Structure 1
Amino acid sequence: MKSSEIYQAKREIINFCHQLTKGLSKPNAKFITDMIYGLAKGCSPLLSEISRALEEDIDLLSTIKRLSRNAMDFNDYAKLYHNYLDMIKRQIKDDMLVIVDNSDITKPYGEQFESLRRVHDGSKGGTEKGYLTANMSITTSQTKHPIPVYAHTFSVAEEGFSSANVETYQGLNYIDELFNQKKYTVVMDRGYDSNDIIQFLQNKKTDFIIRLTDKRWLKNGGRWYKVPELATRHKGKLALKSTIKGHQYQLKVSHLKVTLPAFSDENFFVVIVYGYGQKPMKLLTNKEINSKADVLRIVKGYILRWRTEESFRVQKQEYNLEKVRTLSLNSIRLIHNLINFLVGRNSIRIESAPLFNEILYHRAKSLKAKDKIKFYLYRYIRGLSVVLKADTVGIRIFKKVEHRVNPGQMRLII
Structure 2
Amino acid sequence: MNSTEIYQTKRSLITFLEKLTEGLSKPRKKFYSDILYGMSKAQNTLLSDIARALEENIDLQYTIKRLSRNASEENDLKELHHNYLNGLRTSIPDNPLVIVDESEIVKPYAEKMEHLALVRDGSKNVLEKGYPTINFSMATLKTKHPLPLYNHLYSSKEKDFHSQNIEIAKGFNTVTSFLGKKKATFVMDRGYDTNTIYEYVQDIGHHFITRLKDNRYLLHRNRRVKVPDLAHRRKGKINFKTEIQGDEYKLKVSHIKVKLPVLKDSPLNMVVVYGYGEKPMKLLTNHSINGKDDVLRILKSYITRWRIEELFRVQKEEFQLEKTRTMTVSSLRILYTLMNCLVGHYSLAIEKSNYHTQTVLARARPSNKRKKIKFYLYRFIRGISKILSFDTVGIRYFYKVEKRSNQLSLL
What is the TM-score with the length of structure 1 in the denominator?
0.96
> Counterparts in 2 of 1:314-393, with a 5 A limit?
314-369=314-369, 372-393=372-393
Q: Choose 298-307 or 230-239, whichever is displaced more.
A: 230-239
Deviations 1:2-41 (A, max 9, x none): 2222222122112211111111100000000000000000
Question: 2:358 is paired with a residue of what secondary structure?
Answer: helix
Distance in 1 separating the partners of 2:403 and 2:281: 64
Report the Cα offset of residue 203 of structure 1. 1.5
Q: Choose 366-375 or 186-195, whichever is displaced more.
A: 366-375
Q: Work out whether 1:252 is the aligned partner of 2:252.
A: yes
Question: 1:73 is paired with a residue of what secondary structure?
Answer: coil
Deviations 1:117-165 (A, max 9, x none): 0011112212110001111011111111110011110111111211111
Structure 1 counterpart of 2:99? 99
Report the Cα offset of residue 260 of structure 1. 2.0
Distance in 1 separating the partners of 2:181 and 2:405: 47
Distance in 2 separating the partners of 1:92 and 1:222: 40
With over 3 angstroms needed to count, the CA separation of the structure-2 counterparts of 1:171 and 1:406, relative to structure 1, is farther
Structure 2 counterpart of 1:274? 274
> Counterparts in 2 of 1:173-322, with a 5 A limit?
173-322=173-322
Give the aligned residue type for 2:126.
Answer: G
Distance in 1 separating the partners of 2:259 and 2:273: 19
Q: Choose 365-374 or 100-109, whichever is displaced more.
A: 365-374
With over 3 angstroms needed to count, the CA separation of the structure-2 counterparts of 1:370 and 1:351, relative to structure 1, is farther
Give the aligned residue type for 2:14.
Answer: I
Deviations 1:308-342 (A, max 9, x none): 32111101110111111011101111101111011
Q: Give the length in aligned residue pairs.
A: 411
Distance in 2 separating the partners of 1:118 and 1:295: 39
With over 3 angstroms needed to count, the CA separation of the structure-2 counterparts of 1:15 and 1:119, relative to structure 1, is same
2:183 and 2:205 in contact (8 A); partners too: no
> Counterparts in 2 of 1:127-138, with a 5 A limit?
127-138=127-138
What is the TM-score with the length of structure 2 in the denominator?
0.97
With over 3 angstroms needed to count, the CA separation of the structure-2 counterparts of 1:370 and 1:333, relative to structure 1, is farther
Distance in 2 separating the partners of 1:173 and 1:290: 31
Identity rate of aligned residues, in percent?
A: 53
Instruction: Tell me which stretches of 4 or more aligned residues in structure 1 moved more than 3 Å.
Output: 406-411
Q: Choose 349-358 or 222-231, whichever is displaced more.
A: 222-231
Distance in 2 separating the partners of 1:407 and 1:77: 39
Unaligned runs of 5+ in 2: none
With over 3 angstroms needed to count, the CA separation of the structure-2 counterparts of 1:263 and 1:10, relative to structure 1, is same
Unaligned runs of 5+ in 1: none
Report the Cα offset of residue 191 of structure 1. 0.4
Give the aligned residue type for 2:153.
Answer: T
Report the Cα offset of residue 410 of structure 1. 6.2
Give the aligned residue type for 1:109.
Answer: Y
Report the Cα offset of residue 406 of structure 1. 7.2
Structure 2 counterpart of 1:401? 401
